[in-house]
Amino acid sequence: MMPLSMVNEGEPNVIVRVGGREETRRFLGNIGFVTGASVTVISQTNGNLIVSVKDSRVAIGKDMANKIYV
């Protein structure tokens, strides 16, 4: 298990756990980051990630990516 920010680009992964405060977990869940979902890092620039989750592309910061474990 490791944070999403440490995953290699192009590798499909499955979300194991979403950490952080309740409001953070709710926000991430609303945009598709839920346990069991498949997620792929498309690109990583200056710590910010563009990821594919639930047939959508989402940009998240490194702080949020560190709360998502795969």
Model pLDDT for residues 23-47, shown as the tens digit of each residue: 999 999 999 999 999 999 999 998 8
> Which pLDDT belongs to residue 61?
94
Torsion, Cα 2 34 43 7, to 10 degrees, reads 10
Residue 70 lies in a domain: no
Residue 63 lies in a domain: no
Flag whether pLDDT at 9 surpasses 90.
yes
> Which pLDDT belongs to residue 10?
95
Residue 16 lies in a domain: yes
> Which pLDDT belongs to residue 47?
84
> Which pLDDT belongs to residue 18?
96
Domain CATH number, residue 46: 2.30.30.90
In terms of residue numbers, what domain contains 34?
Answer: 4-53
Question: What is the total count of domains within the chain?
Answer: 1
Three-class secondary structure assignment of the chain: CCEHHHCCCCCEEECCEECCCHHHHHHHHHCCCCCCCEEEEEEEECCEEEEEECCEEEEECHHHHCCEEC
